[in-house]
Structure 1
Amino acid sequence: MSAGAPHGAGGRGPDDGGGLRASLSGLTTRGRSFLAAGLAAALCAYVLGQSGLLRVGLLLAVLPLICVYALHRTRYQVSGSRRLTPMRVPAGSEARVQLRLENTSRVPTGLLMLQDRVPYVLGPRPRFVLDRVEPGGRREVSYRVRSDLRGRYPLGPLQLRLTDPFGLVELTRSFSAHDTLTVIPRTEALPAVRLAGESSGYGDGSRRSLALAGEDDVIPRGYRRGDDLRRVHWRSTARYGELMVRREEQPQRSRATVLLDTRGLAYEDAGPDSAFEWAVSGAASTLVHLLEQGYAVRLLTDTGDCLPREGGGFTSGGQESAEAAGLMMDTLAVIGHSDGAGLSRAHDAVRGTGIGGGFGGAGGDGLLIAFFGDLDDVQTELAAKMCRRSGGAVAFVMDSANWTGRPPGLARVTSRGLPPLEERLARLRDAGWTALAAPPGVAFGELWRMAGSAATGMGTGTASGAAGGWG
């Protein structure tokens, strides 16, 4: 919710002369026509000596000036607000904007035009005409915005256009408040499948005993009513001057990293249906799915940037986890192509934290889900090194030859000297990845299901054959 008073709505500005000159610029075409006709009639009356024509000319010329002065002196006191529901919306979905205008003065308003400024990608600029608002009265209007392109779009400022009864003058007063609509990538509900090396979010399966033991959390917190006094941490109590208690054991949460390849060199197409947008949407769907499954999740890009940045790079749970999830979705809403040419920084970030071997002891239960664009020989080798056979790793690989609609003869080896898609997938599988091709027109949920089948050894031939056929 944002609110504010329109600039100049409660009275004149600090520079009355400048404000009056600005009001003169608000003359409409009709007002300028009246003024020009009046001056011309007065000039003709002076030349011809016609006093009656002179009075008509003066009336035509003075009327717009009187309207300018009267409108300039108008002391409407109005307040406006905007409510955006929701403030974060998936691409292709609608958000509702509700505007409220309240007359806080003791006099009724005249004819008002309410206008909100919105980017062109959200639709036409909404305009509403309010005939009369009584003292203390309020008016509410609403409109809807929709965008097929993810991003952050400013809404506002809210503008109020004042006009006189004759339509000779129009003045615009602007509110100062803005709101921002965040259009996040489309997400798809994913089926519950079991991936290679995966345990459920809270340590079920092979690591359940460790999860039940929990991780010692020695950081004390403030005493809350009902806490057991036997858990009071006296050293911290003496240090902070208030009762502090030891936190309860927290069950260990399995960790997962979602790696998004954003290199500009890895994608050749653009637009809402491009391979890059498919990868961004797939990464968003994966993040949402893993968070719902109870995983501690982080988002990693080829630049080595990691979200969240606190807590070792992974969501911690509770309200902090929800905030981190919102931050990651906001990042995906505006993420673009990077200038990087390789995956070396992402490789260092992944190997530095020990994905596949350092999340929960030997063998590791860390899960790595990657979305790759075009990979040459060097990048394929780097990607292969990110995975160990003992950990769970799934890669969705896009090929520009398929997404850009090249002729079949050029789909095997591109102009940039990339190896065939089947070769890239085979090298990743040999390194321990569950690697699938991501062709255009295939729902991500179907690929996710195939990844689960291939990882459990129930449908590897199907997945591999499909990947090869799509490539």
Structure 2
Amino acid sequence: MSDGGREGMPERSGLRAAFRGMTTRGRSFLAAGIAAALCSYLLGQADLLRVGLLLAALPLVCVVVLHRTRYRIAGSRSLSPARVSAASETRVGLRLENVSRLPTGVLMLQDRVPYVLGPRPRFILDRVEAGGLREVSYRVRSDLRGRYELGPLQLRLSDPFGMCELTRSFTTFDTLTVVPRVEPLPAVGLAGEAAGYGDGRQRSPALTGEDDLIPRGYRHGDDLRRVHWRSTARHGELMVRREEQPQKARCTVLLDTRLSAHAGTGPDSPFEWAVAGAASMALHLLERGFSVRLLTDTGTAVPGPDGAGGTEAADAAGLLLDTLAMVEQSEEGGLSAAYDALRGGTEGLLVGFFGELDEEQAAVAARMRQRSGTAVAFVLDGDAWSRGVGGFRFSDGGVRSADRLRMLREAGWTALPVAPGTSLADLWRSADRAGVHPEPRAEAGFSTTAATAPRTAAGGRA
């Protein structure tokens, strides 16, 4: 729940601005009054002059009275939830409180929202008594990920005769974060997993070196072989060495954001598929205890090379989703920065979401396999996307795409093509099956539902 806070209505504007707020009805009354006064002078009709003065005075009095009205109104906004996935709705609640001693007149409440979230919501409040409270709500929805500012809240005041309307705005706003859609993925056991996965996780001592060891007090049931005699003599009580700590399995999700590697825009574009796939994969592996970081072709890593292991899963998931909500296509010409950011041989699992790869970039991606344990690549099939409903234009053809996949597979990647409408869950299962047969037939590279016999995973469940 996100709360915009409680804010009072700002100070009223000048009298000149109040006159600018005169409605069409008010201007018509004023014009009719002036015309009647002129006609009374020309025709010598005193009664017509009184009528003209009444018509002209009514809107002027309404303007002055509305300008001097001292309403004290507090408003707040709440978002539930403040972070929502694309194509999902969020509820926006508006709370208005009259903290003055006078009842208000007719109020029109309007909240500013970006165009992509829909039309501006408007509410009419007939009368709010002194100390009264009104609560209204509306819903917004976006098919495009990003961060959107809601507000500021606007109040339109009007007199009982409708002669004048004044708009007064609050100053605070709230931010709605629309993250990529996340697809649930099945638990699979990838063949050829490196040490550090599942049951094969490495274990390391709490600190290295005998002098740096931090012992703890002896507990009932501790193995006497772990007694640290030097610390026991120093503290005067039995001290034992700390247990070895399990080392978390590491995973890097690589997202290719190059503008030249993706064609088209919009929620159904190849780039948005890759962003949603990276989000789904990152959350899936976080739920299974992996230490996950997001790496882009620019070399930027989130949470970072040093912060991945110490970030709680919930915080890491929120950080990754917020980052992917705002990720944009880059002007990078290649994947060299991402290759340099990979730590040699210590990445564990590497999952790449690639766009269109030319021969040079496919060679760079192939070398990335040397800096990881198990490597899985999802490569956009440019020929299939060009033939799809969206008509996205790629310069690469199907034959060249097959060559790129072959280069990755020869380097040790489990490489699968991505066609429009392909489910990431099916691709993830296919990656598991392809891990058993590192050299599948050439035509099998374009099938995401290849049959395979049941097996026992060599590694843990991912």
Task: Tell me if both proteins adopt one fold, taking TM over 0.5 as the criterion.
Answer: yes
Identical-residue share of aligned pairs (%): 59
- Kept in 1: contact 2:248–2:309 (CA 8 A): no
Conserved? CA contact 1:77–1:104, under 8 Å? yes
Residues 97 and 134 in structure 2, CA contact (< 8 A), matched pair in contact too: yes
**Could you tell me how far 1:134 is from its partner in structure 2?**
1.4
The question of whether the paired residues in 2 share the 8 Å contact of 1:111 and 1:130 is answered with: yes
1:312-327 matched pairs, under 5 angstroms: 312-318=306-312, 321-327=313-319
Conserved? CA contact 2:205–2:243, under 8 Å: no
The match for 1:433 is 413
Amino acid aligned to 1:216: L
**Equivalent of residue 300 in structure 1, options 286, 295, 306:** 295
Report the 3-state secondary structure (helix = DSSP H, G, I; strand = E; otherwise coil) of the residue aligned with 1:404. Answer: helix
Per the alignment, do residues 284 and 150 of structure 1 end up closer, same or farther by CA in structure 2, a change over 3 Å counting? Answer: same
- Specify the alignment match of 1:467 in structure 2: 445
Q: 1:45 to 1:342 in 2, by over 3 A?
A: same
> Equivalent of 2:427, from 443, 447, 456?
447
Mapping for residues 53-452 of structure 1, pairs under 5 Å: 53-198=48-193, 203-207=197-201, 210-211=202-203, 213-216=204-207, 250-309=245-304, 312-318=306-312, 321-350=313-342, 353-354=343-344, 357-358=345-346, 366-388=348-370, 391-405=373-387, 415=395, 420-452=400-432
CA contact (8 A) 2:88 2:142 kept: yes
Aligned pairs for 1:15-30 (under 5 A) are 19-30=14-25
Q: 1:327 Cα deviation (Å)?
A: 2.0
Q: 8 Å contact 2:183–2:280 — kept in the other structure?
A: yes
Which amino acid in 2 is paired with 1:298?
Answer: R
Could you tell me which runs of 5 or more consecutive residues in structure 2 were left unpaired when the two chains were aligned.
210-215, 220-240, 449-462
Distance in 1 between the 2:45 and 2:208 partners? 98
User: SS of 2:387's equivalent?
Assistant: coil
Q: Please tell me the residue identity of whatever aligns with 1:358.
A: T
Contact 1:376 1:419 in 2 (8 A): no
Deviation readout 1:317-340 (Å, 9 max, x if unpaired): 43xx42232122111112111001
Structure 1 range deviating more: 127-136 or 397-406: 397-406
Whole-Å separation in 2 of the counterparts to 1:315 and 1:45: 88
Question: Residues 98-140 of structure 1: CA distance to partner in whole angstroms, max 9, x if unpaired?
Answer: 1100111111111111111001111111111111111111011
Deviations 1:252-292 (A, max 9, x none): 10110000000000012221111101000000000110110
Number of residue equivalences: 417
Structure 2 counterpart of 1:455, one-letter code: G
Q: Which runs of 5+ in 1 are unaligned?
A: 14-18, 219-227, 232-245, 360-365
- Kept in 2, the 8 Å contact 1:4–1:176? The answer is no
Distance 1:340 1:46, change over 3 A: same
In structure 2, the CA distance between the partners of 1:294 and 1:416, relative to structure 1 (3 Å rule), is closer
Give the 3-state SS of the residue equivalent to 1:79 in structure 2: strand
TM-score (norm 2): 0.84
Query: In 2, distance between residues paired with 1:161 and 1:43?
Result: 34
**Aligned equivalents of 1:334 and 1:248: distance in 2?**
42
One-letter amino acid of the counterpart of residue 343, structure 1 = L
How many angstroms apart in 2 are the aligned matches of 1:22 and 1:247? Answer: 74
Aligned partners of 1:204 and 1:297: how far apart in 2? 15
